[in-house]
């Protein structure tokens, strides 16, 4: 499905079958010289067919089109290498570019598995997750030539000038695009209107939830008339949604703190199993393993946020990270 959402700005709805995100909104912006395509979809046939049929309807010529990826996740980057022409430049935030190129090194996903084992997943769960987790399974067909960009970089498409605004949190190098003159924001997965973006912890040295909330406040300072998100409903109320997301995480932080108070020495997996989740599963045991994987990452982000605030700490014991409250 293709729709013109504003003059020369089109959304192509790319379905993500069997995925709670439901669809990716890929945006095609017609320029006076080159065009820009924002995000692409998983590297699967269903996504490829939907994206290329949308581009065909728009008579889009990839020979004259560059690609911008809001962040490194495979539902955004997956088709970039398959649809790029020889002259297409593929842009992505420099921080995410450095992580993305590692995805193609053998050994990277083993390290991720070891990390998630230490967070509490079992070897059986990890083995099952490995083959089906879209983060790994639907990556671009090859390690494309990515051009890393940073805060302030500008795409000049003639009638539209889009400025990069770094919004770390959902991923370490997530970038939103802002058209100042028309007050248009492409929010990627930083702000999604009808689901909550997944926030995980990528390492123990940064507070990714804290970074995410700071990045929400960065966007809140912008004057935004039209906001376009990467999943589900494309258009929404940007500032109202920011308030809701900040409120959601405040509640979540309080919930994790309470669970930890009642369960000293729990792993992030143990904490995640007791958090409330809005997914269609009766209980934690029935969660699909990929959703457990994301949930554990989310629990860790909240635990690490509390640890960076000095409220909790962890120990590494019997190959697992266990968390407990700090009592001053
Ligand atoms: Zn996404």
Same domain, 15 and 139: yes
- Asked whether residue 92 falls in the same domain as residue 143, the answer is yes
Its sign, for the CA torsion 230, 18, 295, 277, is: positive
Q: Kindly report the length of the chain.
A: 328
The pLDDT value recorded for residue 141 is: 76
- Could you tell me which residues are beta bridge partners of residue 175? 166
Compute, in angstroms, the gap from residue 261 CA to the centroid of ligand 1: 33
Higher-pLDDT residue of 83 and 18 is: 83
Q: Which of 16, 14, 289 is nearest to 132 (CA)?
A: 289
Is residue 50 domain-resident?
Answer: yes
Of 183, 212, 246, which residue sits at a domain end?
246
What CATH number is attached to the domain comprising 165? 3.60.15.10
Least confident of 158-167, 201-210, 276-285: 276-285
Q: Is residue 72 over pLDDT 60? A: yes
Q: Which pLDDT belongs to residue 198?
A: 93
CA of 118 to the centre of ligand 1 (A): 26
Q: Which residues of 65-77 are buried (b: 16+ CB within 10 A; e: fewer)?
A: bbbbbbbbbbbbb
In terms of Cα–Cα distance, which of 322, 314, 317 is closest to 270? 322
| 95 Cα–ligand 1 center, Å | 17
How many angstroms separate the alpha carbon of residue 164 from the centre of ligand 1?
Answer: 18
DSSP structure class, residue 231: B
Question: Are 224 and 238 found together in one domain?
Answer: yes
Q: Which of 95, 200, 101 is nearest to 153 (CA)?
A: 95
Q: How far apart are CA 7 and CA 30, in angstroms?
A: 9
Please report whether residue 110 resides in a domain: no
Residues 313 and 303 reside in one and the same domain: yes
CA of 315 to the centre of ligand 1 (A): 32
Q: How far apart are CA 196 and CA 125, in angstroms?
A: 24
Count the Cβ atoms, other than its own, within 10 Å of residue 195.
Answer: 15
Q: Average pLDDT of 253-264?
A: 96
Helix (H, G, I), strand (E, B) or coil at 110: helix
Around 8, how many Cα atoms within 13 Å sit in the side-chain half-sphere? 15
pLDDT at 117: 97
Distance 81 CA to ligand 1 centre (A): 17
Question: Is there a single domain that holds both residue 10 and residue 70?
Answer: yes
Paired tokens of 106: 């053998």
Residues 178 and 320 in one domain: no
Q: Looking at the predicted structure, is the pLDDT value of residue 43 above 70?
A: yes
pTM of the model: 0.94
Does 23 map to a domain?
A: yes
The reply to whether 160 and 277 lie within a common domain is no
Query: Which among 303, 309, 308, 305 is positioned nearest to 321, based on CA atoms?
Result: 303
Q: What's the pLDDT score for residue 133?
A: 76
The per-residue pLDDT for 1 is 85
**Mean pLDDT in residue range 221-228:** 97
Is the predicted pLDDT of residue 163 greater than 80, yes or no? yes
| Residue 205 within a domain | yes
From 246, 275, 293, give the residue that closes a domain. Answer: 246
The rounded Å distance from CA 12 to ligand 1 centre is 15
Q: Determine the distance separating the centroid of ligand 1 and the alpha carbon of 20, expressed in angstroms.
A: 10
Enter the tokens of residue 147.
Answer: 């051009």
Q: Is residue 149 part of a domain?
A: yes
Integer-rounded Cα radius of gyration of the chain: 20
Residue 134: per-residue pLDDT: 72
pLDDT score recorded for residue 222:
98
Distance from residue 2's CA to the centre of ligand 1 (Å): 19
Residue 90 is part of which domain span?
Answer: 2-105+134-246
What is the whole-number distance in angstroms between the Cα of residue 189 and the centre of ligand 1?
Answer: 5
Q: Per the domain annotation, does 251 fall within a domain?
A: no
Residue 201 has pLDDT above 60, yes or no: yes
**In angstroms, what is the span from residue 132 Cα to ligand 1's centroid?**
16
Closest CA to 66 of 82, 51, 85, 49: 85
Residue 217 lies in a domain: yes
Question: For residue 262, how far is its CA from the centre of ligand 1 (angstroms)?
Answer: 34
For residues 88 and 227, membership in a common domain is answered with yes
Cα 235 to averaged position of ligand 1 atoms, centre (Å): 15
Is the CB of residue 321 less than 8 Å from the CB of residue 268?
Answer: yes
Q: Mark whether 65 and 155 lie in a shared domain.
A: yes
Same domain, 149 and 292: no
State in Å: Cα 17 to ligand 1 middle. 13
pLDDT in the model for residue 328: 55
* Residue 150 alpha carbon to ligand 1 centre in Å: 20
- Token duo for residue 37: 């395509």
pLDDT digits (tens, 9 = 90+) for 94-146: 999 999 999 888 788 889 999 999 999 999 999 988 777 777 778 887 777 89
Determine the distance separating the centroid of ligand 1 and the alpha carbon of 326, expressed in angstroms.
35
Same domain for 189 and 48?
Answer: yes
- Interval 249-264 mean pLDDT: 96
At which of 226, 246, 266 does a domain end? 246
The predicted pLDDT at position 137 comes to: 75
Domain tally, the chain: 2
Q: Ligand 1 centroid vs 328 CA: distance in angstroms?
A: 40
* 100, 183: one domain: yes
């Amino acid at each position: 499905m293709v729709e013109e959402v504003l003059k020369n700005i089109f959304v192509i709805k790319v379905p993500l079958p069997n995925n709670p995100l439901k669809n990716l909104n890929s945006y095609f912006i017609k320029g006076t010289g080159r065009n820009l395509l924002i995000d692409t979809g998983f590297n699967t046939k269903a996504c490829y067919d939907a994206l290329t049929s949308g581009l065909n309807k728009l008579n889009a010529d990839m020979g004259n089109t560059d690609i911008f990826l809001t962040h490194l996740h495979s539902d955004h980057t997956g088709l970039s290498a398959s649809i790029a022409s020889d002259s297409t430049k593929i842009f992505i935030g420099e921080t995410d570019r450095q992580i993305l190129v590692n995805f193609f090194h053998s050994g990277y996903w083993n390290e991720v598995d070891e990390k998630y084992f230490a967070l509490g997943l079992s070897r059986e769960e990890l083995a099952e997750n490995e083959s089906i987790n879209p983060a790994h399974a639907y990556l671009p067909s090859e390690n494309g030539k990515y051009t890393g960009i940073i805060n302030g970089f500008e795409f000049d498409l003639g009638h539209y000038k889009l400025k990069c605004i770094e919004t770390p949190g959902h991923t370490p190098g997530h970038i939103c695009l802002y058209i100042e003159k028309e007050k248009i924001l492409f929010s990627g997965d930083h702000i999604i209107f009808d689901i909550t973006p997944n926030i995980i912890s990528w390492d123990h040295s940064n507070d990714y939830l804290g970074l995410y909330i700071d990045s929400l406040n960065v966007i809140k300072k912008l004057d935004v008339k039209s906001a376009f998100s990467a999943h589900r409903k494309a258009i929404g109320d940007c500032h109202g949604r920011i308030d809701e997301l900040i409120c959601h995480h405040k509640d979540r932080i309080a919930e994790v703190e309470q669970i930890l108070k009642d369960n000293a020495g729990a792993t992030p997996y143990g904490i995640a199993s007791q958090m409330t989740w809005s997914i269609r599963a009766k209980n934690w045991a029935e969660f699909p393993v990929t959703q457990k994987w994301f949930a554990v990452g989310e629990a860790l982000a909240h635990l690490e946020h509390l640890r960076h605030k000095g409220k909790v700490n962890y120990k590494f014991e019997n190959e697992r990270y266990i968390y407990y409250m700090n009592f001053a």
